[in-house]
Amino acid sequence: MPLLKSFRGLRPAPGREADVVAPPYDVVSREEAAALAKDRPWSFLHVSRPEIDLPPETDPYAPEVYAKARENLERMIAEGVIRQDPAPAFYVYRLTMGDHVQTGLVAAASVAAYDEGRIKKHEFTRPVKEDDRVRQIDALNTQTGPVFLVYRATRAIDDELARVTRQPADCVAELSGVKHEIWVLDEPEVITRLARAFDELGILYVADGHHRSAAASRVCAQRKAANPGHTGEESYNYFLSVVFPHDQMQILDYNRVVRDLNGLDLDAFRGRVAERFLIEAISGPEKPSGAGRFAMYLPGQWYRLVLNPEYLPGDDPVARLDVSLLANNLIEPVLGISDPRRDERIDFVGGIRGLEELQRRVDSGDWAVAFALHPTAMEDLMAVADAGEVMPPKSTWFEPKLADGLVSHKLDDEAP
C-alpha cells in the first residue's frame, strides 16, 4: 500500500474559491465562526462549524449538528458551488504569509502507514475531540479537514513541486492575510513518480491534525469490520493530508492559561514558583528567549521565569522540551494539573494571537495566570516522534494554517 495516493478532490467550482474558503474549524470559536460566515452562505464554516446555523444553546456535539453539516455540504454540491474532480490527482498547495512561503502536496495518506508508525505522531489526543471528528467524518462521508504532515526535505520531491508551481495556479484564495494557491497535478506519470519518491522516504510526521488522523484510523477500522468484501483499496483506507518539507515549516509558541492558583494566594503562589525558577518582575510582555525561559502574567504584572539549571534534564527528547519543563516544574507540582488533555482548568493559546491575548484573558478575571513559551523546534518534534515518544498536548502551533474547503476527500459510496 503506498504511503500517499492520488484521489478525486472535492473542490470549489472555478470562481467560487473566495465564497468557500474558511479557517480551520478548531482555530475559531463558535462566535468567531458565526461572525466570519455572516452574509456568506457558501462559507465552509457552515460545514465545519454547523452549530452556527442552529440555536446558540445547541450542544456542539449534538446529533443535529452533524446532520446539519451533512445537509450543508450536500446543498453546496447540489448547487454546484463545490464539485468532485473527474480524475484522481495530487494537488500542490502553496501558502504565502508575508515573506514566508511553503509548498506542499495534498494527497490521501495511508491509514495502514499511520497505524504501523510510518506516519509518526508526537501528541496524544483529547478523547472528546477525537470522538467529534469520528462523528463528523461518518456524517459527511467525507474528510474535510486536512492533516498537516511533514517530510524530511528531499531534492527530488521539492524540485517536482517547484516545477508545477511555475504555471499559473488553478485556485487562488486569500484568507486573513494568507494567500492559498492550488495546482491540480493529474499527470499519471508524475503522480507515479511522486508516490514512489515518498515511498522511498518511508516516514512522514504528523505536524498538526492528531485528532483528524486518529479519527480517520477509527473510521477505517469500523468500516473494514463492517465490510466483508474489504480489499484495502477503499477510500476509507486513506485520510486527507497536506505534506510539506520540514525546512519550510514555521512554528510559533503555544501558550497556556490556568483558571485558578490551586488554592494559593498570589504571594504563596509566587513563593512556590521561586522554589525552582528565578522570578523577576518585568515592565511588560516579553517573548522568552530560549530553553528553560518563560514569561508569566498575573493580574497587572508580567514576570520573567528562568528554570534553575539543576532541573534541566539531559538528552531525553520529551523532558527537555519547554512544554515539559513548565509542566513538570510548575503546572503539575504547583497548580495541580497532571492531565492537561482532560483538565478544564487549563487552556491553550496559539502564539499567532500574541502575548496581549494572554494578558487580556487574565485581566478579564476568567483566568488566574498565563504562561508564554519559546517555540518548539521542528527538529525537536521529529526527534520525539523518531524515539516513539509523544509530546505534551498542544506543544506546537504552526503558521500559516491550512484552509478548510479548498480540497476535501470524499469517501465515495462506502457510508455505513
Grouping H, G, I as helix, E, B as strand and the rest as coil, residue 404 is: strand
State how far the alpha carbon of 148 is from the alpha carbons of 143, 202, 239, 341, 347, in Å: 13, 17, 11, 20, 22
Domain for residue 57, yes or no? yes
- In this structure, the answer to whether residues 213 and 184 fall within a common structural domain is yes
- In this structure, the answer to whether residues 114 and 74 fall within a common structural domain is yes
Q: What is the pLDDT of residues 222-251, one digit of tens each?
A: 999 999 999 999 999 999 999 999 999 999
Read off the C-alpha cell for 307.
528554570
- In this structure, the answer to whether residues 133 and 150 fall within a common structural domain is yes
Domain for residue 288, yes or no? yes
Residue 416's pLDDT is what?
A: 38
Domain for residue 354, yes or no? yes
Q: What is the pLDDT of residues 332-391, one digit of tens each?
A: 999 999 998 889 999 999 898 999 999 999 999 999 999 999 999 899 999 999 988 888
Q: Provide, rounded to the nearest whole percent, the portion of the chain with pLDDT above 70.
A: 99
Domain for residue 416, yes or no? no
Which runs of E-coded beta strand occur in 20-156?
82-84, 90-97, 100-110, 119-120, 142-143, 147-151
Task: Give the whole-angstrom CA distance, residue 30 versus residue 308.
Answer: 41
Q: What is the CATH number of the domain that holds 293?
A: 3.30.1760.10
Q: Which helix (H) or strand (E) holds 239?
A: strand 238-245
Range of the domain at 292: 252-397
pTM of the full structure = 0.86
Give the count of domains, the chain. 2
- In this structure, the answer to whether residues 213 and 291 fall within a common structural domain is no
Q: At what angle do helices 188-201 and 155-164 cross, to 10 degrees?
A: 150
Q: What is the pLDDT of residues 157-210, one digit of tens each?
A: 999 999 999 999 999 999 999 999 999 999 999 999 999 999 999 999 999 899
Confidence of residue 396 (pLDDT cuts 50, 70, 90): confident
State phi, psi for 63 to the nearest 5 degrees.
Answer: -55, -35
Residue 391's pLDDT is what?
A: 85
Least confident of 2-6, 29-33, 134-138, 341-345: 341-345
- In this structure, the answer to whether residues 121 and 228 fall within a common structural domain is yes
Residue 415's pLDDT is what?
A: 40
Residue 323's pLDDT is what?
A: 94
Signed CA dihedral, 225, 230, 234, 237: sign only:
positive
> Once rounded to an integer, what is the mean pLDDT over residues 260-282?
98
Domain for residue 415, yes or no? no
Domain for residue 246, yes or no? yes
Domain for residue 71, yes or no? yes
Of the candidates 7, 43, 40, the one whose C-alpha atom is nearest the C-alpha of residue 404 is 43
- In this structure, the answer to whether residues 264 and 380 fall within a common structural domain is yes
Least confident of 124-128, 275-279, 352-356, 407-411: 124-128
Domain for residue 119, yes or no? yes
- In this structure, the answer to whether residues 17 and 27 fall within a common structural domain is yes
Question: Are the C-beta atoms of residues 109 and 236 closer than 8 Å to each other?
Answer: no
- In this structure, the answer to whether residues 262 and 363 fall within a common structural domain is yes
- In this structure, the answer to whether residues 227 and 207 fall within a common structural domain is yes
| Whether residue 124 has pLDDT greater than 90 | no
- In this structure, the answer to whether residues 225 and 335 fall within a common structural domain is no
State phi, psi for 379 to the nearest 5 degrees.
Answer: -65, -35
What is the rounded average pLDDT for all residues in the chain?
94
Confidence of residue 413 (pLDDT cuts 50, 70, 90): low
Residue 7's pLDDT is what?
A: 97
- In this structure, the answer to whether residues 273 and 190 fall within a common structural domain is no
- In this structure, the answer to whether residues 246 and 306 fall within a common structural domain is no
The count of C-alpha atoms lying within 13 angstroms of the C-alpha of 271, restricted to the half-sphere facing its C-beta, is 5
Confidence of residue 393 (pLDDT cuts 50, 70, 90): confident
